[in-house]
Amino acid sequence: MSTTKNPKLIGESLALAVVVDGRRRTPPAAAQRLRAQEIYQTLKKLYPDTYAFLKFNTPFECLVAVMLSAQCTDVRVNMTTPALFARYKTVNDYAQSTQQELESYIKSCGFYHTKAKHIIATAKILVEKHRSKVPATMEKLLELPGVARKTANIVLGNAHKHHTGIAVDTHVKRVSTRLGLTRETNTDRIEQDLLRTFRPEQWWDINYLFIRHGRETCKAPTPFCSRCALSSLCPRNGITKST
């Protein structure tokens, strides 16, 4: 049995996309983790000032902003929320709102009918069951309408400083895949791969680092590999189409 490294798939020794008898094999776990650490350190130097992309003042505003950001840009959400948050100041304000009025404030974010429905239903549950507080556990957050793991991870991290997972959005998914950190397509499974690969104290940063890298360099559909700081660590360095 011969073992070769495909020069098209690797930039240097740590980018271990190994081809054995013509088939790609998963790199050794230790090498993968070592490469992941280089990726993390490189991005951390590149983007030292990670920050929350969405603007909010309270845990519930955080939850509302993240719910609005589904299928919508953070820029658009940040343009929408000042008027919304000026009108709706408490969880109870949302719980008592009519669907029609809330929709009128969030229309520009898209899918506003469903989003308004979920926000009002969530506010009612918080008022009735959680003393108008945003829950501090993944389990309780996932019980809220329209809240999946991505939203829950962002809210837990921002509102409660509980960094127990990695929020996987479209940028994190694309960058993780191109960097060879996962072969999964399901976001929950991608998250599990990333949690196994990075250290717990890095989980919170990974979301923001990968989002920034995905927005600025590893773009969809075509990434700017020629100017990418991770090119020597990336098995997809040089790709010219969306993957």
In the complex, minimum distance from the CB of residue 175 to ligand SF4, in angstroms, rounded to a whole number? 6
Instruction: Determine contact, residues 103/113, Cβ cutoff 8 Å.
Output: yes
How many Å apart are CA 221 and CA 243, to the nearest integer?
Answer: 8
In the complex, minimum distance from the CB of residue 17 to ligand SF4, in angstroms, rounded to a whole number? 12
In the complex, minimum distance from the CB of residue 185 to ligand SF4, in angstroms, rounded to a whole number? 17
How many Å apart are CA 141 and CA 134, to the nearest integer?
Answer: 8
CB-wise, 119 or 234, nearer to ligand SF4? 234
Angle at 76 between CA 72 and CA 82, to 5 degrees: 125
CB-wise, 37 or 92, nearer to ligand SF4? 37
- 150 is an active site residue: yes
Q: If we measure between CA atoms, which residue out of 5, 18, 63 comes closest to residue 180?
A: 18
Looking at 236, 240, 241, 242, which residue binds ligand SF4 (CB under 6 A)? 236
Under rule CB under 6 A, residue 127 binds ligand SF4: no
Instruction: Determine contact, residues 150/168, Cβ cutoff 8 Å.
Output: yes
Q: If we measure between CA atoms, which residue out of 174, 243, 241, 238 comes closest to residue 212?
A: 174
Active-site residue (options: 21, 74, 107, 169): 169
- 117 is an active site residue: no
Site for ligand SF4 in 172-231 (CB under 6 A): 178-179, 217-218, 223-225, 228, 230-231
Under rule CB under 6 A, residue 43 binds ligand SF4: no
Under rule CB under 6 A, residue 157 binds ligand SF4: no
Site for ligand SF4 in 78-107 (CB under 6 A): none
CB-wise, 59 or 180, nearer to ligand SF4? 180
The secondary structure of 93-146 as a DSSP string is HHHT--HHHHHHHHGGGS-HHHHHHHHHHHHHHHHHHSTTPPPSSHHHHTTSTT
Q: Which residues bind ligand SF4 (CB under 6 A)?
A: 178-179, 217-218, 223-225, 228, 230-231, 234, 236-237, 239
Q: Catalytic residue positions? A: 150, 169
